[in-house]
Amino acid sequence: MIIKILGSGCKNCETLKANTEKTLKETGIEAEIIKVDDLKEVMAYGVMSTPALVIDEKVVSVGKVLKPKDIAKILENHK
Amino acid sequence: MFIFEWLNNQLLRMEWLSNLIKLLVENGFGLSIQDRLGGSIHFYIYDVIKIFILLSVLIFTISYIQSFFPPERTRKILGRYNGISANILGALLGTVTPFCSCSSIPLFIGFTSAGLPIGVTFSFLISSPLVDLASVILLASIFNWKIAIAYVVVGIILAVIGGTIISKAKLEKYVEPFVFGNKILDVEQEELTTRERVEYARDQVLEIIKKVWLYILIGVGIGAAIHNWIPENIISAVLGQDKWYSVLLATLVGVPMYADIFGTLPIAEALVLKGVGIGTALSFMMAVTALSLPSMILLKKVVKTRLLAIFAGIVTLGILIIGYFFNAFGYLLM
């Protein structure tokens, strides 16, 4: 599983990345986290508010700094 | 009417706080607030506390309302309208959509990719920093309701006219090509629960306070300095009502500056108390908030210099007209 975090280099994106890492560690789910900061690449996903969370090329959340428990729920649904 | 006036004075102007700080300065520090030092300390403490209280309450309320208008929904609503009504709606939605200058670019691209005319997007981009609900309530607190409402009306008119000119001038060719034809994400966002909205509003309060507290302290500091230390004749020589160049000067100084509207309000307040025209003070505030170097640099990534210059030109001109208009007719609102 590949998880991408789309952002513009803001602080919220860092927080989302940290929360995602924490969730992976807690749930024991294996995934690769990639941070995408390039504007053109971010826009190619069609999101308008960052940070956004993308799992296996599917946008699952936009404009929210998700808490670890929210991320865990999303990962659960994704399976 | 009496009750309304009482609520206005106590809740918005916070006269109780002014009196409390007066007691503190006079009895605690042993200074009279008629004196320079006592007066500046009173102005500083009172204004800082007042702005922080109002700001927290307002951002909370407004963020709660804003949680109903994420950019995706705004874009959908705007897509249903054409012509000037789209510009008007863009300007109005600009006042309630969550927005900071760092998110203006994704919004610009997202709106444009969805096929919205760039003029409508510009109406939105102009009104968004210029007129927001928090600044309106603060204006009502510092000046009065008539001025606050007049400010909203002229701000929205400026956004509509600016966007319409950009639409009519067919400036799409000055937008960077990669902006067009991006994928449009159309996942239906799940409705937030009330608890999530409250959490969102609370986070916004913390985030915005963290971002603007320094501007407020500096802004009120400058306000206090103007209020008590700079002689009135110097200020009126430069920015006085009778000087034709006062509005021009206030606008040109304000354009490159970057500060939050909450930091500029106390400066405007002090200037008006010193006899500067309300139009001059409003021009300064609008110039600082609507145009700034950082937001220009961001916009430069997606539009060519020509369009950027036209955008800045229209907004500056509009602010000048508003300034002169308020200086000429502002006495009707005081």
Looking at residue B99, what is its pLDDT?
A: 52
Mean pLDDT, all residues of chain B: 83
How high is the pLDDT of residue B100?
A: 56
The architecture CATH gives domain A2-72 = 3-Layer(aba) Sandwich (3.40)
In this prediction, residues B261-270 reach a mean pLDDT of 83
What's the first-to-final CA gap in chain A, in angstroms? 10
Kindly state the average pLDDT of the residues B89-111: 74
Beta bridge partners of B303: B175
What does A53-69 look like in DSSP terms, one character per residue?
Answer: EEETTEEEEES----HH
Rounded-to-integer distance, Cα B162 and Cα A10, Å: 30
Query: What pLDDT does residue B215 have?
Result: 86
Kindly indicate the confidence band of residue B116, based on its pLDDT and cuts at 50, 70 and 90. Answer: confident
- Per-residue pLDDT for B272 more than 80? yes
Chain B residues close to A19, C-beta within 8 Å: none
- The tens digit of pLDDT for each residue in B144-181 reads 888 888 888 988 999 999 999 998 888 888 888 877 77
Between A49 and B174, the higher pLDDT residue: B174
Q: What pLDDT, on the 0 to 100 scale, is given for residue B10? A: 80
Closest CB from A45, A48, A50 relative to B72: A48
Helices B145-168 and B118-130: angle between axes, nearest 10 degrees: 160
ipTM confidence: 0.71
pLDDT of residue B114: 81
CA distance B74 to B111: 9
Question: What is the per-residue pLDDT for B309?
Answer: 92
Residue B32: predicted pLDDT:
82
Chain B residue numbers touching A49 (CB-CB < 8 A): 70-72, 98, 103, 106-107
The residue type found at B150 is: A
Residue B97: what pLDDT?
64
Residues of chain A with C-beta less than 8 angstroms from the C-beta of B105:
8, 39
Q: What is the pLDDT of residue B226?
A: 85
Q: Where are the domains of chain B?
A: 2-184+191-332
A55 lies within 8 A of chain B by CB: no
User: For the segment B209-222, what is each residue's pLDDT rounded down to a tens digit?
Assistant: 887 888 889 988 98
Least confident stretch, B126-130, B247-251, B260-264:
B260-264
Please tell me the total number of residues recorded for chain B in this structure: 334
pLDDT of residue B113: 83
| Dist CA B261 CA A28 (whole Å) | 46
- The pLDDT, as a whole number, for residue B103 is 65
How deeply is B177 buried, as exposed, middle or buried, from its count of CB atoms within 10 A (0-12, 13-18, 19+)?
exposed
Mean pLDDT value of segment B89-96: 84
Question: Catalytic residue at A47?
Answer: no
Whole-number Å distance between alpha carbons of B150 and B146: 6
- pLDDT tens digits, one per residue of B57-77: 888 888 888 788 877 788 888
Residue A13 annotated as catalytic: yes
Residue tagged active-site, from A13, A16, A36, A52: A13
